[in-house]
Amino acid sequence: MTAGVKVWDWPVRITHWVLAVAVLGAWWTGERLEEWFVVHRACGVVVLVAVLFRLGWGLFGTRTARFSSFLAGPSAVVQHLRELVSRRLPAHAGHSASGGWAVLALWLVALAQASTGLFANDDVMNAGPFYGWVADGLSDALTAWHEEIFDFLLVLVGIHVGAVLFYRFWGRQNLLPGIFGGRRNDVPASDDIGAELPWRALLWLAVVVALVGSLLWLAPPAVLDAF
Ligand code: HEM
């Protein structure tokens, strides 16, 4: 028998690590666009699919995956910050009251980052897959946003990793077993999320992939003015 209380289902965990790798991959390849543009574009599409999947999973996934379980009102956020300051954090499954808003911000900024990239261009030879759908001026504006937003995304990722470390060393709670293996042994058994919903997750993933895939397929080829 596996030890520990199940706190995150596998779609949440896989989406998390896929998103993390794709964001870091987009960053690395974004610094080397001439050689790595195709990989950069692929990372962007993966970010898009991962975030759209996760946003839907926030509506009909398992308990801790749902927005309704972690988007708390201001008083809960203040209460959580008080607990954090006093180092008296109750261990529980799912996001904390302030962590929930932070991850929502991460998803929305990652979504904005990937979406603007779809229409971006580098004025020379590379363009996002939906470049052909918009006027040059709009593509240039979205390209500028694509560059600006990334810094913001990196700051949020830095805060996120910093918060996990802060929880570990100041709050004396190790969140990592949850996001790696899905289980923690420091939370009450009543917090267990119960049965996972693999078919629902696969069906929803298929819908998201079909949606994004169809748009990519329908998009006109990008022809830059330089040619
Ligand atoms: C680009 C890098 C990363 C991004 C974009 C990212 C994003 C996220 C997001 C969106 C969530 C919420 C998961 C969900 O509810 O579906 C999350 C949770 C989590 N992440 Fe990351 N993450 C990144 C890197 C990391 C790294 C490097 C670590 C390890 C130090 C980490 C540790 C965690 C943990 C432990 C949680 C669960 C927090 C909790 O129990 O409340 N993440 N991350």
The C-alpha atoms of residue 101 and residue 99 are separated, in whole angstroms, by 5
What's residue 157's pLDDT?
Answer: 98
Token pair in block for residue 191: 């917090």
Task: Enter the pTM of the model.
Answer: 0.94
CA neighbor of 56 nearest in space, from 207, 215, 194: 207
Report the nearest-CA residue for atom 37 of ligand 1. Answer: 179
pLDDT of 2 reads: 63
**Cβ 87 vs Cβ 172: under 8 Å:** yes
- For every one of its 227 residues, what pLDDT tens digit does the chain have, with 9 covering 90 and above? 468 999 999 999 999 999 999 999 999 999 999 899 999 999 999 999 999 999 999 999 999 999 999 999 999 999 999 999 999 999 999 999 999 999 999 999 999 999 999 999 998 889 999 999 999 999 999 999 999 999 999 999 999 999 999 999 999 999 999 999 999 999 999 999 999 999 999 999 999 999 999 999 999 887 776 54
* 146 C-alpha to ligand 1 centroid (Å): 22
Domains plus CATH for the chain? 5-218 (1.20.950.20)
Burial 198-209 (b: 16+ CB within 10 A, else e): eeebeebbeebe
Give me the pLDDT at residue 227, please: 47
Instruction: Tell me which residues have their CB closer than 6 angstroms to ligand 1.
Output: 12, 15-16, 19-20, 23-24, 54, 95, 99, 103, 106-107, 157, 160-161, 164, 175-176, 178-179
- The closest residue, in CA terms, to atom 22 on ligand 1 is 20
d(CA 110, CA 57): 16
Q: pLDDT at position 226, please?
A: 55
